Every structure is written in structure tokens, then in C-alpha cells.
Amino acid sequence: MIVGDNGIITEAQKAAKQTEEIQVNSQSYMNSLQQELEQKIEGQIAVNEDIPNAPEQIEGMKPIKFTEPTETEMGSYEETYWTDSSWYNYQESKWANTISEDGSMWVWIPRYAYKITYNNPENKSEGGTIEVKFLIGTTDQYYDSQDGQLKTAKRQTTADEIVDTTTDFYVHPAFTDESNIGFANGGWDKELTGMYVAKFEAGFPEGNNNTASKKSSVSYSQDTSYVRSVEAGTSSDLNQEARNWLDGIYGSNLPKISYPVFQSLTYSMNYINENDAYNICKVMNENGNIYGFATSSSDTHLMKSSEWGMISYLSYSQYGTKGQDIAINNANLNSGGKKREASNTAGKSGIDSVYGITGMTGGTTDGAETIVKIEEIKALSGNTPTTESMLRMESKRWN
């Protein structure tokens, strides 16, 4: 029979189907084997070198590399790809940088543990060194290059625990889930492999950058600004109608806040209070933002004091200035129409490299979310914050 259930054609069709299934299964097996091998290789590398967690791929971001500025030429950048082996090298203080759709730049800070050694424990003002160990994934484990062993860093486990960071390596709290201890040290609500930080301080769009201004969903909240005498043309500083470089004087006609940009050659974002800075940072990943961010892959917020410390410790470590003081940026970028230039500031703070974070010890007055007592808020502002306003500031977003 050449037809029917047992016919030659039917049997040939079955054989062909079985062959195809074997090929598919074989390919699937090979793919699985290759994936397992790659994971083992990655795991082996992770426990044989002190290497950082790879930067997360965030929607709206692309990796970039720089050419260093010289005495006569500004540095430049070029886009690259996520798997480029020359994109970053933290051992050479070459941190991973990315660029978002608006042209803002971001720097990846990998999860790490740290240990402090003071030159004089009796007088800590005499300085010391900070040693950093990059941690594996979201664990507290690191490779100890001295004895070849995989070790576990310590961490604070209760809200009132006092830790000694001079005797052991401690996981920096900014990367940790501290929801069970009330975010005592400025932690987050989950374990993090690292985080992106703006490379430049917040600035206005337009002007010397090519980013078009776009209004966010949040508005300015106060109708007065504390204006310096040099700008007001008066003998002393005083409160005047609210204003800023982009919107001009607006007083009680409170406008929507434009999305800030984090670029060089940009006028720093001034005349904005802490409340408005907090709110605009929270909506930087809302629908229609200029960065290309999505709520599903990012959680934007105003930098906390714990995160400022996280950057400073890495900057001062063997992966940054190697114990040298972070240089002060003396450029007055909002004076006389001057703008921030990458060639002037890239080496002025952070890691003394175009790959670092600028403005850490200079520039326009900066602010970060921190703990303050209600009495202190009242003394500073003349107003007592309501329970509602305090609840709007989620615990993980301030410390």
C-alpha cells in the first residue's frame, strides 16, 4: 500500500516529521547548553575578578563613549552598543555613560560594599581611604582578590544598629531593601544591582542646548522667589515675584514646570524650591516625557543624601580619584551669561575624568532629599507641613 495509515507515503511523512522534531529539539538543546555555558562563564568571571554589575538596559537610553578633552579641544562622544567591551572599565575609572532621547547624560553606579580606613582614627578630619568591593547581582557577595575567596559583606539589619565600617565591608544602603527597617539609611524598597545618576546638574532646555522645551504635568507651587541683589538691582537680597531663566517673571501665574535636561552647555535650573524639584523628578518617566523613559523600566526621583554619599564614596575609592580630594568646580555658570562646558567641568569633580559625574562639589546650589524635623521645616519656611503633604513624600524617596 502506498496510501493509508501504514502506507509508504504516510510512513515517509512520519519519518520526515520525526527528523524535523529531532532537529528542532537538537537546536533547542544546543541553545540551552550554550546559555548554560555562558551563565557558568559569567559566574566564573564574577567570582574571579572584582567586576561591577553590568548597566541595566533602560528604555530611552543608549550607551555612549567619550574622547577626553585636551587643552585646545573639547571632548566629544559617540553612541555605542550595550555589549561593547570597550564601553566602560571601572578598574581604569572609566564609568559607564548613557544618553537619553533628549540628549541628557547618565552614569551607572554599580552595587558595592565599602570599608573606610582613617589616617588617624582619633581625628577623622585628617582623612583616610575608602576601599570598594563590587557585589554580584543583588547579593551581598564579593570576590576577595587577596585570598581568592567569595565573601559576604555585612549590612545594617535593624533601624537602631550602629555599624563599624572601619572593620568590615558593608553594603552601601542606597542599593538595599530597607523597607523592613523604615528606610533608616536611605535605602530602597527592593535590592538593586545599581542605579543611573544624572551626569550634570539639572538645567533648562533650549539656550545653548538643542532640546526643545516641553511642559510636564506638574506646576510651580510658589509665587515669590528669593532674588539676589546683583540680579534684582537692589542693595540687598529680597523676595520678589517668582521667576526663572526659561519662563521669565510669572508671579502668581504659576506655569507648568518644563522637563529639566542634564547636559553640558546648559543654564542651571534655578529658582525652584525643594517641593517642586521633588515633584518634577517624580514625573520624568510619565507618558510623553522628553527622555523616552517608561514607568515599566524606570523609577525617577530627586537624589537622596544617601545616594549623594553613594556617588562620593565610589568617586573617592580606587575606582575614582584613588584617595585624592575631589576637585572643586569653581565655574560660576549662571553668572554673566556663562554656560557650563563639558571641557571645563568634566574633570572638576567626581572622578577627574570625562566619564565621571560633574558638579559634585561646585556649581549652582544643590539640594537632596533628607531627614528634617517638622520643627525645622516650620523654622525655615514659617509653615507647618500637613500630614497629607508628608505622606505624599514616599519613605523610599527621601532620607
E-state strands within 101-139: 105-110, 112-118, 128-134
Residue 321: CB partners within 8 Å, gap ≥ 6? 315, 351, 352
Mark whether 241 and 267 lie in a shared domain: no
Predicted pLDDT at 97:
97
Mark whether 39 and 71 lie in a shared domain: no
Enumerate the β-bridge partners of residue 144. Answer: 149
The Cβ-side half-sphere exposure at 331, using a 13 Å CA radius, reads 25
Task: For residue 101, count other CB atoms closer than 10 A to its CB.
Answer: 15
Strand, helix or coil at 91? helix
Residue 344: CB partners within 8 Å, gap ≥ 6? 331
Q: Which of 233, 254, 275 is the last residue of a domain?
A: 254
The number of residues making up the chain comes to 399
Mark whether 109 and 135 lie in a shared domain: yes
- At 71, list the grid cell: 587643552
For CA atoms 97, 99, 104, 108, give the dihedral sign: negative
Mark whether 356 and 374 lie in a shared domain: yes
Predicted pLDDT at 196:
97
Distance in angstroms (rounded) separating the CA atoms of residues 252 and 171: 46
* Residues 52 and 134: beta-carbon distance below 8 Å: yes
Predicted pLDDT at 345:
38
Predicted pLDDT at 8:
53
- H-helix segments, the chain: 8-46, 229-232, 274-282, 305-316, 342-345, 374-381, 387-392
Mark whether 144 and 8 lie in a shared domain: no
Mark whether 201 and 327 lie in a shared domain: yes
Q: Which of 31, 46, 61 is the last residue of a domain?
A: 46
Mark whether 162 and 203 lie in a shared domain: yes
Rg of the chain over all Cα atoms, to the nearest angstrom: 26
Mark whether 146 and 225 lie in a shared domain: no
Predicted pLDDT at 40:
44
Mark whether 13 and 162 lie in a shared domain: no
- Nearest Cα to Cα of residue 145 among 49, 42, 46: 49
Distance in angstroms (rounded) separating the CA atoms of residues 391 and 386: 9
Predicted pLDDT at 335:
40
* Residues 324 and 353: beta-carbon distance below 8 Å: no
Mark whether 230 and 318 lie in a shared domain: no
Mark whether 202 and 100 lie in a shared domain: yes
Rounded mean pLDDT for each run of 10 residues along the chain, 399 residues in total = 49 55 50 46 51 96 88 86 95 95 97 96 90 97 86 93 93 96 93 96 90 97 90 87 93 97 89 93 97 94 93 93 71 41 41 76 51 41 42 48
Domain of 22, in residue numbers: 1-46
Distance of CA 207 to the CA centre of its chain: 25
Predicted pLDDT at 15:
55
Mark whether 261 and 232 lie in a shared domain: no
Predicted pLDDT at 325:
73
Most distant CA pair in the chain, distance? 110
Counting the structural domains of the chain, the total is 3
Local structure of residue 188 (DSSP, 8 states)? B
- Nearest Cα to Cα of residue 96 among 104, 87, 84, 105: 87
Q: Which of 201, 234, 254 is the last residue of a domain?
A: 254
Predicted pLDDT at 9:
52
